[in-house]
Amino acid sequence: MNRVRDCLLLGSRQGAAMIEMWKAVWRNLEDFAEQGGPVIWLLLLVSAVMWTLIGERLLYLLLFARNQTTQSQQQWMSRGERSSWFAHQVREALIVDMNLRLNQFLPLIRALVLLCPLLGLLGTVTGMVTVFDVIALEGTSDAQSMARGVFRATLPTMAGLVISISGLYMLAQLQRWTQDRLERFKDGLTFGVPGGDGYKGEVHGNP
């Protein structure tokens, strides 16, 4: 009983520590957004969506892509003939289907990568508007408000570039891995001829 009680106590302490950690993270995000303006929240939302999609693609390539390509290759190799025009069309359909599966969400990730610097630029514009408002109302005497406005103008641009560069790197890696997987999948879809298997040659005429 003592061991069970100790385990429960340890688990509750770890849970409380985890809650406090997430509270601290949230407070830091709030402070960051307050310093950078409302555009920061848009950047954080776009970043969360982008990295969720990147994580999904990584999990797919690591856990599911191999099984799907193997199943499609086995489906192709189980055909009685693989040399006719119709078989060639079936092969092309398998390649197109696998290409769509492997490249799913990559165009959306690319669009989000391109969107981040534009949102950062929007934050810069709104920050400079704040600076101009301060100058119009108080002149150049309130240096603290002007500095806060300049900081708000530069922070979204910096955040947008950091998110965009990191997303661009992962997008390039995903495209490279996807293309490599697709090429290996194509190599496994060999044509067959009467009297031999695994021949990649000229496709025969219509059946």
What is the residue-wise DSSP string for 26-89?
HHHHHHHHHHH-THHHHHHHHHHHHHHHHHHHHHIIIIIHHHHHHHHHHHHHTSS---SHHHHH
Q: What is the pLDDT of residue 2?
A: 62
Rounded Cα gap, residues 139 and 142, in angstroms: 7
**Residue 202: other Cβ atoms inside 10 A:** 10
DSSP state of 198: S
Higher pLDDT, 17 or 91: 91
- Phi and psi at 196, nearest 5°, equal -165, 150
Q: What is the pLDDT of residue 137?
A: 76
Q: What is the mean pLDDT of residues 14-34?
A: 74
DSSP string for 143-160:
HHHHHHHHHHHHHHHHHH
3-state secondary structure of 200: coil
Q: What is the pLDDT of residue 161?
A: 95
Higher pLDDT, 161 or 34: 161
Tell me the C-alpha to C-alpha distance, in Å, between residue 10 and each of 5, 16, 23, 127: 9, 10, 20, 47
Rg (Cα) of the chain, in Å, rounded?
A: 28
pLDDT tens digits, 55-88: 999 999 999 999 999 999 999 998 888 888 899 9
Q: Rounded to two decimals, what is the model's pTM?
A: 0.77
Rounded Cα gap, residues 117 and 134, in angstroms: 26
